[in-house]
Structure 1
Amino acid sequence: MATQGTARGATAGGGPTGAGPLPRGVRIGYGSGSVATGAFGTVPGLMLLPFLTDSLGIAAVLAGVIVFLPKAWDVVLNPIAGRVSDRSTDPRGPRRPFLLRAGLVLAASFALIFAAPSMATGLEAAWVLVCFLGCASAYAFFQVPYVAMPAEMTTSYDERTRLMTWRVAILALTILVAGGTAPLIRDAVGGRDGYRVMGVVMALIILVGVVASYVGTRHAPVGSVQPGAGSLRDQLRIVATARDFRLLLTTFVVQALATGAMLAGVDYLAEDVLDSAGAATVLFLCFVGPALLLTPAWSAIGQRIGKKRGYVASSLFLAAGAALAAFADVAPAPVVFAAVGLAGVGYAGCQVFPMAMLPDAAAVDARRTGSGRAGVYTGVWTAGETLGLALGPAVFALVLALGDYQSSTDGAATQPGSAVTAIVLGFSLLPALLVLVSLGWLARYTLDAEEVDA
């Protein structure tokens, strides 16, 4: 049994047990948390903007603001959540209690987002904003401790990659299931009730991930966490001076913006460009499906050529696929699906590598300074990721507004040619350009296996 402040398998100093492999049960248990993060990270980005513009009749610009503000709040809240979890001394482990407490609130508040009763448009917009804000706040206190755990579970550079491989594989499966079925559930039920039922189903999926991750990590070799000296502002200032972390974070945030824009555009591309509501699920499966097969392959490539080179290669696949989707308004649907599938090949690697590189940066900092700040690192990281994923739909909504997109309460508005062009560009060339730009920061990242394992 764990003792006060020290989980099973921890060293006396509170760090992980060492560089040996983790039990498979711990890997799977930890990875199951991605069921919760995958559902929350995917479904609002995929469904919330269409819900606002094509069901509640909210103008594209205002809808973009509603989608953006709660996650922008997380940019402030996530580092605080990291600081709080760094100071935890719970006998169940320093991070695990947050998984359960915040996770239960996350599931309940998610269902409420799409459950607004019929009211005036302004009141419905306020309902969504408040519920999404509560959901995002709960997510911060689940996600930040969850992401902080690998740096404390093992000291091995390669074992973190294996741990992240399980996490990303489960994440990909969850994204595939949640993102693929959410539009189907909505369309099968129809109307506002379709969104309500979809919200409840997705909340139950989140609940499964919350409970599984809490139970599955009960034997994880995580020691007590020693928070760094100084205030939160002091620690953030120190983290900001970590050059490699800063470069990796910037790369990841810009790419999160790109993928956020693509996710937000799926429903619009299907209905207004390909003229098929069912195409939304196909597009989504093409984007996420390759991750189920290629996540282990990208992991193996990373161990062979290095995480940075693997990250660059996967980014180029993502950019190439997104760019080819620019022909969506003239090419046959199968060609569009193939282009999105190519982007999905890159997307798989763009999830594996940064998630495996983050614990390296936190571990190097802890070794250099003698002060554990994994929670602060992951708080800043998840804040950046949240900002990027929130900006994606917001930027896509702005592109829609510039294209004179017509909102409605039944999704039946006829769109002008300018709106169709805006949808295609927002889904394709904009994300491709963002991914290519992000490589400028990644090129200057320098941490490798030799330095991390030193």
Structure 2
Amino acid sequence: GGAAEGRAAEGRAAEDGAAAGAVPPARAALAQAWSVLRANRSFRVLAGSYLLVSTTTHLVLAGLPYFAEYALGRPGLTTVLVGSFVAPALVATPVWFRISRTLGKQRCLLAAQWAFVLGSLGMLAGARTGLAVVVLATLVLGVSFAGLQLFPFSMVPDTVRAAGAGEVDRAGAYTGVWTATEAVGSAAGPYLYSAALAAGGF
């Protein structure tokens, strides 16, 4: 009986020691994410670009209700503007995909970025020139938004394969980093928008 109890105690002590020496899952995931970003420059640039794009697009989307009510003086247009921003993605995504077969993903991504800039400028002009310009500009933003979502995501496997066979085995780590990047961007946009309103005394 005493020997059995002793062996059990030793087993528990060994388990406790192993647990104490184990790396916490969160820390291990963070280390793996950092390793991926450090090892693959192409992916690092793509993720950084997407973080900026995601933050910007979600900031604009969060600002549409304010724009409709205070810039246009028509709060009822919020639904129209949000719909004009989001709905075109259903049609534009397959169109972007077909165009990319001819022009390539990088050129199409650049075109989508420029279209977003033009749409944003059109919204500013539309606040003075009329509702039709605002809706048209919002549609342009929606079409560009579809490309800004499609192409960065579709380029992730390209950056992984370009880094070598060893990186392909770490595809899960790349997916985790990308998901985190998307989550940070979608949260940072509305946060920055709210911070700007607060700084302005709204």
Q: Tell me, in whole angstroms, the C-alpha distance in 1 between the residues paired with 2:168 and 2:128.
A: 56
Q: 1:369 to 1:316 in 2, by over 3 A?
A: same
Give the structure with the higher percent helix: 2
Give 1:297 shift.
1.2
* TM score, norm. by length of structure 1: 0.37
Tell whether the 8 Å contact from 2:33 to 2:176 is kept in structure 1 after alignment.
no
Q: Tell me, in whole angstroms, the C-alpha distance in 1 between the residues paired with 2:50 and 2:42.
A: 12
| 2:117 equivalent in structure 1 | 319
Q: 1:360 to 1:338 in 2, by over 3 A?
A: same
Deviation readout 1:16-48 (Å, 9 max, x if unpaired): xxxxxxxxxxxxxxxxxxxxxxxxxxxxxxxxx
Number of residue pairs aligned between Structure 1 and Structure 2: 177
Deviation readout 1:401-433 (Å, 9 max, x if unpaired): 23221xxxxxxxxxxxxxxxxxxxxxxxxxxxx
Aligned residue type for 1:378: T
Give 1:371 shift.
5.8
| 2:33 equivalent in structure 1 | 236
Deviation readout 1:243-296 (Å, 9 max, x if unpaired): 110011111110111111111111111222222232111101221222222211
Deviation readout 1:143-165 (Å, 9 max, x if unpaired): xxxxxxxxxxxxxxxxxxxxxxx
Give 1:363 shift.
3.8
For the residue of structure 2 that corresponds to 1:330, the secondary structure is helix
Give 1:353 shift.
0.6
Q: CA RMSD in A?
A: 2.1
Q: How does 1:291-310 map to 2 (within 5 A)?
A: 291-310=89-108
Q: 1:371 to 1:317 in 2, by over 3 A?
A: closer
Aligned residue type for 2:136: A
Give 1:344 shift.
1.5
Q: Tell me, in whole angstroms, the C-alpha distance in 2 between the residues paired with 1:375 and 1:239.
A: 10
| 1:267 equivalent in structure 2 | 65
Tell whether the 8 Å contact from 1:257 to 1:388 is kept in structure 2 after alignment.
yes
Unaligned residue ranges in structure 1 (runs of 5+): 1-78, 84-230, 406-454
1:393 aligns with 2:190: yes
Give 1:370 shift.
6.3
Q: Tell me, in whole angstroms, the C-alpha distance in 2 between the residues paired with 1:266 and 1:255.
A: 17
| 2:75 equivalent in structure 1 | 277
1:380 aligns with 2:177: yes
| 2:18 equivalent in structure 1 | none
Aligned residue type for 1:264: A
Q: 1:401 to 1:327 in 2, by over 3 A?
A: farther
| 2:137 equivalent in structure 1 | 339
Q: Tell me, in whole angstroms, the C-alpha distance in 2 between the residues paired with 1:357 and 1:312.
A: 13
Tell whether the 8 Å contact from 1:273 to 1:328 is kept in structure 2 after alignment.
no
Tell whether the 8 Å contact from 1:245 to 1:358 is kept in structure 2 after alignment.
yes
Q: Tell me, in whole angstroms, the C-alpha distance in 2 between the residues paired with 1:237 and 1:266.
A: 35
Larger radius of gyration: 2
Q: Tell me, in whole angstroms, the C-alpha distance in 1 between the residues paired with 2:67 and 2:41.
A: 39
Q: Tell me, in whole angstroms, the C-alpha distance in 2 between the residues paired with 1:337 and 1:348.
A: 17
Unaligned residue ranges in structure 2 (runs of 5+): 1-24
